[in-house]
Amino acid sequence: MSFSLDCPPRAEASADTLVLVACCGRKLDHAAPARELYQGALFKFSMAYCVRHQLDWAILSAKLGLVAPDYVVEPYESRLSSSRTAQALWAERVFTSLQRNRLPRQAIFLAGSDYRAELTKRLAAAGVECHAPLAGLGIGQKLGRMKALTSR
Runs of H (alpha helix) within the chain: 11-14, 34-37, 41-52, 84-101, 113-125, 139-151
Give the chain's residues under pLDDT 50.
Answer: 1-2
Closest CA to 90 of 124, 57, 67: 67
Provide the residue type at 12 as one letter.
E
Catalogue all structural domains in the chain, each as residue range(s) with its CATH number: 13-151 (3.40.50)
* pLDDT in the model for residue 1: 39
Grouping H, G, I as helix, E, B as strand and the rest as coil, residue 111 is coil
pLDDT in tens, 102-122: 899 999 999 999 999 999 999
* pLDDT in the model for residue 7: 56
pLDDT in tens, 2-25: 455 555 555 555 569 999 999 999
* pLDDT in the model for residue 82: 85
Provide the residue type at 30 as one letter.
H
* pLDDT in the model for residue 4: 53
Query: How many Å apart are CA 111 and CA 131, to the nearest integer?
Result: 11
Query: How many Å apart are CA 20 and CA 66, to the nearest integer?
Result: 9
* pLDDT in the model for residue 3: 54
